[in-house]
Structure 1
Amino acid sequence: MTPAWTTDAATDDPARAVRLTLFWGLEGVCLRTIAGGRVPTVTEGPLRRRLDEADLPVVALDPGLFEGSVASRASWLNEIDQLDEVAAFGARFGCQLIRVGALSDPDGFDAEAATQALRQVGERAERLGLTLAVRNEAGTAIATGAALAGLLAAVDHPAVGADWRPADALMSGEAPREGLAALGAANVPVRCVGVRDGWQEADGWGEAEVGAGTLGWDAHLGALVEAGVEAPLVIDVLPVPPRSSGLASATALVRALRQARRSAAARG
């Protein structure tokens, strides 16, 4: 597992993003918004130079696809066509992993239609050499690991796996370890892990530095290692102020990952 972050959690400036990645001890980046543009429609030159100079890999792209409703057929069909441009962009950065939504909304979700649509998306992705990671997201019909497992098991396509977000599962009332177990039981590969932490408040969710909330990242990383997950670990959200909280979150993530690996090695 590669500890990484979505850079626009703190900055969309390529030079500053690279400096922070190195300063925090992270090993890769997920690209979403750069210099005011959403990938793949961004100015590539400065970004590629900075990443090459620092020898930092792009572990995933988040172009904002398939985040609407499955009922909006024209929209997601158009986004399937956009995968060609995403694939070309990813090839230039050595990245084939694309984080996407589940074509899910909170009301009127049609699981059968979403299954067929995501299978169609997966077929195009496979032809382009891409791998998709479909997220569970609080506030949608696919908010938990169990819901994501059920959907992706039905899709049953080798190019389509999970973007597992344990904090979103926790926000939605599911114990993260149970959500991970549901994905494993359904033989759904975890292709990416979204990292954030926090706690439930009376009026919603409060963000916290990784390891300072109630999710229990030490134990969850142990469960990921035990399950044989090799996906990138991507810090997606940083509490304000992001510069200092980013250092604390990255340090906690790297330390917890090392401990989880040591514990697994000691168990043999």
Structure 2
Amino acid sequence: MIPSIVTDELSGDPETAFELGLEWGVDRFELRGIHDGRVPRLDRHARQRLLRAVRGFGVTITAISPGLFKCPFPAGEPARSNLGWMDKGFFQNWEEARSLVEDHRRNLLPASIDFAREVGAKFIIAFSFSRNGAASGEAPAGVIELLSEAAAAADAAGLELLVETEEGHWADTGARSAALVERAAKPSLAINWDPANALIDGDVPYPQGYAALKHLVRNVHFKDARVYPDGSWELLAQGDVDWAGQIAALAADGYEGAIAVEPHLSPSVASTRNALARLRSLIEDAKARPSTVGKKS
């Protein structure tokens, strides 16, 4: 298990994020937001500065998160109304959703593949389309088809596509995320496991959620959350995810990948530094745990 940092959790300026991370002993990073943009859709100057920073600081980019398929999946046809103005609105919304999905498929996906190869990342993090208010359940066949197609394109470039568990999306809990990936049946399609996101959508991420998808986990996001009885939730420095159990399980299962610090809290630098310290402590505890098995206290 190797701690990494999502750069824009520290700073929108990747040079600053790399510099701080290296000072803290972290040399692996995940790329998402750069200044006011999101990879790979950067202007040429921002891209050139980013590439120069990656090479100059000698850091490793573990994954990129371009927001691929983080949008509603449109129904087969638009909703209808007997009222002309409302019917037109339904049609326009449906057409816009279809256009956005097509843009991701035809433009964002190949651009993300090119960018990942350019920065040396092995993984592209994708999403499973917003349910747009629909109840949790089995993902539509069209979602599976598009993820399968995207995974095949990534595989052809020597990369893997990782579906992130995300509240409000078709891959929300551990079990539903695993089922979605297994339906796609592509070796290059796996999971970016975010236990806090799964918790928000009603999962018990560890042990139940993790048990369903542990064989598919290639990258992990480290943040925490709490869900209240009324259904509201918030992100916290320490919430209700059993991170001690989760990290110990990852260690026991021989997970050797990155665990990316992503607290989503302010102030950015202090929150990321504190989350990193917590993660490192949990990893050390997990490493020490096997040595105590079978010994009397």
Q: More deviation in 148-157 or 80-89?
A: 80-89
8 Å contact kept, 1:7–1:17: yes
User: If the length of structure 1 is used for normalisation, what is the TM-score?
Assistant: 0.88
Deviations 1:27-47 (A, max 9, x none): 311111112221112222322
Which residue identity does 2:159 align to in structure 1?
Answer: L
In the alignment, the residues of structure 1 paired with residue 122 and residue 105 of structure 2 have an alpha-carbon distance, to the nearest angstrom, of 15
Residue 173 to residue 110, structure 1, CA distance change in 2 (3 Å): closer
Which residue identity does 1:41 align to in structure 2?
Answer: R
Shift of 1:20: 2.2
User: If the length of structure 2 is used for normalisation, what is the TM-score?
Assistant: 0.80
8 Å contact kept, 1:107–1:141: no
What residue is the counterpart of 1:51 in the other structure? 54
Which residue identity does 1:55 align to in structure 2?
Answer: G
Deviations 1:20-78 (A, max 9, x none): 21233333111111122211122223223333333221111011111123335553343
The secondary structure found in structure 2 opposite 1:25 is coil
Shift of 1:90: 1.6
8 Å contact kept, 2:54–2:119: no
Q: Does 1:60 align with 2:63?
A: yes
8 Å contact kept, 1:122–1:157: yes
What residue is the counterpart of 2:288 in the other structure? 262
Query: Which entry has the higher C-alpha Rg, 1 or 2?
Result: 2
In the alignment, the residues of structure 1 paired with residue 191 and residue 123 of structure 2 have an alpha-carbon distance, to the nearest angstrom, of 11
Which residue identity does 2:48 align to in structure 1?
Answer: G
What is the alpha-carbon root mean square deviation over aligned residues? 2.3
Q: Does 1:196 align with 2:199?
A: no
8 Å contact kept, 1:10–1:238: no
Residue 159 to residue 265, structure 1, CA distance change in 2 (3 Å): farther
Q: Does 1:146 align with 2:175?
A: yes
Shift of 1:267: 5.7
The aligned length equals 263
Residue 175 to residue 159, structure 1, CA distance change in 2 (3 Å): same
Residue 92 to residue 117, structure 1, CA distance change in 2 (3 Å): closer
Long gaps (5+) in structure 1: none
Residue 52 to residue 147, structure 1, CA distance change in 2 (3 Å): same
Shift of 1:241: 1.4
Q: Percent sequence identity over matched residues?
A: 27
In the alignment, the residues of structure 1 paired with residue 243 and residue 27 of structure 2 have an alpha-carbon distance, to the nearest angstrom, of 18
What residue is the counterpart of 1:75 in the other structure? 100
What residue is the counterpart of 1:215 in the other structure? 241
